[in-house]
Amino acid sequence: MNQPQQNIDVVFEPQFVNKDTLRIPTLKVLQQDGTLYPNAMMPNIDKSLALKIYDTMVFIRVLDERMVASQRQGRISFYMTCKGEEASIIGSAAGLSDDDMIMAQYREQGALAFRGFSLENFMNQMFSNAKDLGKGRQMPIHYGSSELNYMTISSPLATQIPQATGFAYGQRLQGLDALTLCYFGEGAASEGDFHAGLNMAAVLNSPTIFYCRNNGYAISTSIEDQYAGDGIAPRGVGYGIETIRVDGNDCLAVLLATQKARAFALENNKPVLIEAMSYRLGAHSTSDDPSGYRSKEEEDLWAELDGVMRFRNWLELQGWWDQAQETALYDKYRQEVLAQLKVSEKVPTPLLVELVSDVYSDIPTHLQQQLGDLRQHLAKYPQDYPKTSGEKH
């Protein structure tokens, strides 16, 4: 029954509540030199997990660097780097179980690499070849893997947020020891889907971790043009969601926040919002040039706070990492990436039938007809359709 509220705070003079009423602190563990803040709480991490995280960071740095160069050379059509946000993305993925579903926005290849997506799979997707799990249909970096519980990327922003709420609700109803983590940017949090997804998760008790990568920019639009409040975190509180803000360049803080969020969400069947404060060090994509909207000085300031360097400093202080290992790992990945690139770019394109498959579970009559007409047409002009003209029907 919806009764009149009894025990509510009452005032007899108008009082406006503003954003300063709720000040959300930022969780930190690691200082830039790799030492811990005094009294900082440590996440659950051992040497093996730490090295796996760092290995993934280096892999992504190398992959990003190489693929941007490949795009410049015209070998792939498009790319987006993770640069600056590796600690945020990989640290949060490391706080999950492999059974947890990840629904990402598009810049989270680090999370997918941490799950074990092979270099070959990455490369085949970017070259849209016959071995691409997505059958060559989407632009580069739109990865996905059901085996690895990583939902295929969709370009439209924020659409994955209410989907994550639904997916996690299904996990809960099945009694699974698994939840869904949803990545999105502070720009996507302006979309209606953000508000719908968070409110529904809170009301319906869906064990979803909403992970906002606040990286300062949505293409050219800075946070000043994106929101007037104190970031995204207070919105979680407004929806009745447990909320935490974390330094996104502090891998240990991100890991700690995610581990705690996961435990809370599964224990209570409730959502959590994590806002990770970071910076997109690279361009939005290879189609973008940030010099049109931000200064080199600003980029340099953030580069000094690089999360990969910070984590490496910590590893070295543990005695788990040194310069020789660093050089060897970069060399290894540079060679592997280059070698795989050369292999994947030579794999043929998907068969023509993949143009009409998967529109539905079966190929309906009208699409079979259209495919047949297309084959006849291509046979008339083989030289004009070189990718498919050699195909044996």
Contacting residue, 23, 366, 392, 393, with other proteins by CB under 8 A:
366
Measured CA to CA in angstroms, residue 32 lies from 36, 118, 121, 247 at distances of: 9, 31, 34, 12
Closest approach of other proteins to the CB of residue 163, in Å? 14
d(C-alpha 87, C-alpha 306), whole Å: 9
**Residues from 208 through 247 that contact other proteins (CB under 8 A):** 218-221, 225-227
Contacting residue, 63, 89, 188, 254, with other proteins by CB under 8 A:
188
Give yes or no for a contact between 106 and 155, defined as CB atoms under 8 angstroms apart. yes
Size of the site for other proteins (CB under 8 A): 49
Q: How far separated are the first and last CA of the chain, in Å rounded?
A: 67
Q: For the residues of 187-248, what is the DSSP string, one character each?
A: TGGGSHHHHHHHHHHHHHT--EEEEEEE-SEETTEEHHHH-SSSSSHHHHHHTT-EEEEEET
Backbone angles phi, psi at 164, to 5 degrees: -60, -40
Residues in the chain: 393
Contacting residue, 26, 32, 205, 388, with other proteins by CB under 8 A:
388
Contacting residue, 35, 44, 146, 155, with other proteins by CB under 8 A:
155
The answer to whether 152 contacts other proteins (rule: CB under 8 A) is no
Closest approach of other proteins to the CB of residue 90, in Å? 25
The answer to whether 378 contacts other proteins (rule: CB under 8 A) is yes
Q: Indicate the residue among 159 and 313 with the shorter CB distance to other proteins.
A: 159
Give the SS3 label for residue 342.
Answer: helix
Cβ atoms within 10 A of the Cβ of 344, count? 23
Query: Which span sits near other proteins by CB under 8 A: 2-10, 88-96, 328-336, 376-384?
Result: 376-384
The pattern of x and - marking residues 34 through 53 that bind other proteins according to CB under 8 A reads: --------------------
Closest approach of other proteins to the CB of residue 154, in Å? 7
The answer to whether 139 contacts other proteins (rule: CB under 8 A) is yes
**Residues from 65 through 124 that contact other proteins (CB under 8 A):** 77-78
Query: Which span sits near other proteins by CB under 8 A: 161-169, 182-190, 255-263, 266-274?
Result: 182-190
Closest approach of other proteins to the CB of residue 350, in Å? 7
Tokens of 24: 């959300």
Compute the CA torsion angle 283, 274, 101, 124 (nearest 10 deg). Answer: 10
Closest approach of other proteins to the CB of residue 320, in Å? 40
Contacting residue, 33, 44, 268, 293, with other proteins by CB under 8 A:
293
d(C-alpha 142, C-alpha 139), whole Å: 6
* β-strands 180-185, 208-214 pairing: parallel
Measured CA to CA in angstroms, residue 91 lies from 65, 205, 242, 322 at distances of: 20, 25, 20, 21
Tokens of 64: 């990003």
Q: Which of 339, 278, 295, 289 is nearest to 66 (CA)?
A: 339
The answer to whether 384 contacts other proteins (rule: CB under 8 A) is yes
Q: Indicate the residue among 296 and 387 with the shorter CB distance to other proteins.
A: 387
Tokens of 109: 């290849």
Give yes or no for a contact between 280 and 214, defined as CB atoms under 8 angstroms apart. no
Contacting residue, 144, 187, 197, 236, with other proteins by CB under 8 A:
187
Place of tokens 């490369």: 123
Q: Indicate the residue among 291 and 335 with the shorter CB distance to other proteins.
A: 291
The answer to whether 192 contacts other proteins (rule: CB under 8 A) is yes
Summarize as ranges the residues that interact with other proteins (CB under 8 A). Answer: 77-78, 128-129, 136-139, 142, 154-157, 187-188, 190-193, 218-221, 225-227, 287-288, 292-293, 349-350, 352, 354-356, 359, 366-367, 370, 374, 377-378, 380-381, 384-385, 387-388
